[in-house]
Amino acid sequence: MGRALLVSAVVTALLLGSALFPVISVNADEGMWLLNDPPRKHLKQKYHFDLTNEWLERAQKASVRFNNGGSGSFVSADGLIVTNHHIGADCLQKLSSKDKNYLHDGYYASTRDKELHCPDLELNVLQSIEDVTARVNEAVKPDLTPAKAFAARRAVLAAIEKESLDKTKLRSDVVTLYQGGKYHLYRYKKYTDVRIVFAPEQAIAFFGGDTDNFEYPRFNLDICFFRAYEDGKPAHPAHFLRWSPTGPREGDLVFVTGHPGSTNRLDTLAKLLHRRDKTLPYWLNRLRSQEALLTQFAGRGPEQARMSQKDLHRVANSRKAVSGQYQGLLDPAIIRRKTDEELSLLAAVKVKGDAAKHKALQDALAHIEEAEKTFAAFEREYDLLERGDAFDSELFHIARHLVRMAAELPKPNAERLREYRESALESLKFKLFSPAPIHPELEKARLANSLTFLAENLGGSHPRVVKIMGEQSPSARAAELIDGCKLADPAERRRIAAGGAKAIEDSTDPIIRLVRLVDEDARALRKRHDDEVEEVERQANAQIARSRFEVLGTAIAPDATFTLRLAFGVVKGYRVDGLDLPFATTFGGAFERADKQAHREPFVLPKRWLDAKDKLNLNTPFNFVSTADTIGGNSGSPVLNREGELVGINFDRNRHGLVRNFVYTDEQARHIAVHSRGVLAALQTLYDAKALVKELTTN
């Protein structure tokens, strides 16, 4: 259907008073809802469930954000936290060495003195939300140039956060919602003394590996227990979730509270097409390049496999997720739906009769289309130099922070690059001075590969490439950079950070020199992006959001922003390729899957499982699915029942859910969780984790 025809169909429907905008109505159980604007009415009407303030407060304050990209929840009065193994993997990897591979072998601290301290893990628990939209908008006058508007906005955000931090001592972040439609101030209690209590073997946590990732049926004990400490003692959180010994049943209403990372459901069609044709093909190429490199690196030997294990999983997981996104945008049905949504909004605004508002919406859409075109001209260089795709090295990113901190910290808070604003410094330094090991061999391989990728994208004779390579091949250049760098030592980082601009100027560290060599170019690209793309789009999106609010109110949740959200859905299976998949899998299914895969990697069950097969009740539920709306970042989120008990730990979504970046459907798309009953059974029967089981069951 052509655009014009579609518009008139929609407008006709409107004029005839037919059901209002089916294409922009809230779809079934869609939504990653704000905790301060939850879907009480929908829950009441459809599920006869009263979302009480008490229920909500407990869920909120028992939910935990893992700042390395995941979610979790308190499950005891003594600060015990459950999340996914693949969220704990970062810490497990950092604590491992040639002789102890906790990531691969798992770990259990049978007593508290054996709990292992994570070197750089920060957890956040949301305490309050405050709407600061009016203050932000007030500070950004409508007649400013985009560059001045960007600066004014940056200044007011930094000020709000700094004031809040000073007043409350809580981590304070202003979150941009609805792509610029609203601004909310989130305040968090922070935990930085976090210790590992229990992790299973990776072979069962990630049973099926990349092959079964984003698939269902699944058989994964993808859990990891941590404990938060305060002043050297187990923390006593305000709230925690009771562990349901029975878990969910088919048809149950369940909730997921966690931190979905990012979605693009409210992006305009122009932005989605840009994403499809410019951004994602490039991402796919980059991810495949990294995956090929890491796979080869792991092949060098068992120790290299250990070093690169977590990176390889991260990259392969992204490759699969991004492929799914890309396939979604190549599906004409999805593009049609997004087109319909946009045209319906235009038609709905038009039908209200305010020509100025309709014009403003049209202009906003056009501005975004323009901004995307502008971006296309320098996006690759921006990605490579400023986002750092050309420098896939931890040492590079450490060096860049040191160089930029030296330049930014002397400036007033309002004028700094956003990541160096006063309120963010503590968390930044906590990561920057981490004693976690850095492996030069891996750094060298990754950096050589990404310098190669730089040349692949810009061409070997491009001035920026020539400048960065310094008349050397990528591998020679990477070797020179990593071999000469001293920043693997946190003490050296502290020394340079303390020395400020002088220390940077005096430094002969080759990576610091490389950062300085590219920093002017990188900053210029960033400024161009900030002023010509981000600010223009933010203003346009604010306009679109206003139009949407007028038509629909906040009946559509904002896109995900790695902040706490509430989702809900029903525990149920689905039909695919003529096959009915059950709502839950069992322990027995894991053994069957291993048989069917001829016990090849990654379908090799841990010895503990194979040996104890006879002791297990093979009908014990293992993993289950529900229709609740989740995305990456929700990993480790608690799944709650009506009573607010923990019935599962979310760890994945199926392949039908990979298009959730753009559209939610509940026909086949599901999130996947570990069943609370399965966890208890495994801990008891296989891991002999008495103290842990006791703590979970005697609350």
Q: What does 137-206 look like in DSSP terms, one character per residue?
A: HHHS-TTS-HHHHHHHHHHHHHHHHHHHHHHH-SEEEEEEEGGGTEEEEEEEEEE-EEEEEEE--HHHHT
Residue from the set 8, 145, 246, 296 that interacts with a second copy by CB under 8 A: 296
Least gap, CB of 130 to a second copy (angstroms): 42
Residue from the set 211, 246, 617, 619 that interacts with a second copy by CB under 8 A: 211
Query: What is the spatial distance between Cα 42 and Cα 695, in angstroms, rounded to a whole number?
Result: 36
3-class DSSP state of 661: helix
Amino acid in the structure at residue 503:
A
Which range, of 289-297, 359-367, 373-381, 682-690, touches a second copy by CB under 8 A?
289-297
Q: Under the criterion CB under 8 A, does residue 300 sit at the interface with a second copy?
A: yes
Least gap, CB of 23 to a second copy (angstroms): 19
The residue (of 284 and 428) whose beta carbon lies closer to a second copy is: 284
SS3 letters across 219-246: CCCCCEEEEEEECCEECCCCCCCCECCC
Q: Which of residues 253-282 bind a second copy (CB under 8 A)?
A: 273, 276-277, 280-281
Least gap, CB of 544 to a second copy (angstroms): 22
- Residue 581's DSSP bridge partners are 574
Residue from the set 66, 74, 326, 664 that interacts with a second copy by CB under 8 A: 326
Q: Under the criterion CB under 8 A, does residue 596 sit at the interface with a second copy?
A: yes
The residue (of 288 and 464) whose beta carbon lies closer to a second copy is: 288
Residue from the set 461, 553, 578, 698 that interacts with a second copy by CB under 8 A: 461
Report yes or no: 243 and 697 within 8 Å, Cβ to Cβ. yes
Which range, of 88-96, 258-266, 470-478, 624-632, touches a second copy by CB under 8 A?
470-478
The residue (of 25 and 472) whose beta carbon lies closer to a second copy is: 472
Least gap, CB of 72 to a second copy (angstroms): 29
Q: Which of residues 331-370 bind a second copy (CB under 8 A)?
A: 331-333, 335
Report yes or no: 543 and 358 within 8 Å, Cβ to Cβ. no
DSSP secondary structure code for residue 132 in this structure: -
The residue (of 593 and 670) whose beta carbon lies closer to a second copy is: 593
Residue from the set 137, 192, 339, 597 that interacts with a second copy by CB under 8 A: 597
21: left (phi over 0), alpha (psi -120 to 50) or beta: left
Among candidate residues 428, 424, 425, 391, the one with its CA nearest the CA of residue 521:
391
Q: Which of residues 528-557 bind a second copy (CB under 8 A)?
A: none
The residue (of 125 and 672) whose beta carbon lies closer to a second copy is: 672
Least gap, CB of 483 to a second copy (angstroms): 13
Site string (95-124) toward a second copy, x via CB under 8 A: ------------------------------
Cα 574 to chain centroid distance, Å, stands at 26
Q: Under the criterion CB under 8 A, does residue 201 sit at the interface with a second copy?
A: no
- How big is the chain, counted in residues? 699
Q: b/e for 474-508, b at 16 or more Cβ within 10 A?
A: beebbbbbbeebbbbebebbeebbeeeeeebeebe
Least gap, CB of 673 to a second copy (angstroms): 23
Q: Which of residues 471-490 bind a second copy (CB under 8 A)?
A: 471-475
Report yes or no: 640 and 49 within 8 Å, Cβ to Cβ. no
Q: What does 679-692 look like in DSSP terms, one character per residue?
A: HHHHHHHTS--HHH
User: For binding to a second copy (CB under 8 A), which residues are involved?
Assistant: 209-211, 273, 276-277, 280-281, 284-285, 288-289, 291-292, 295-296, 299-302, 305, 319, 326-327, 329-333, 335, 452, 455-457, 459-461, 469, 471-475, 596-598, 600-602
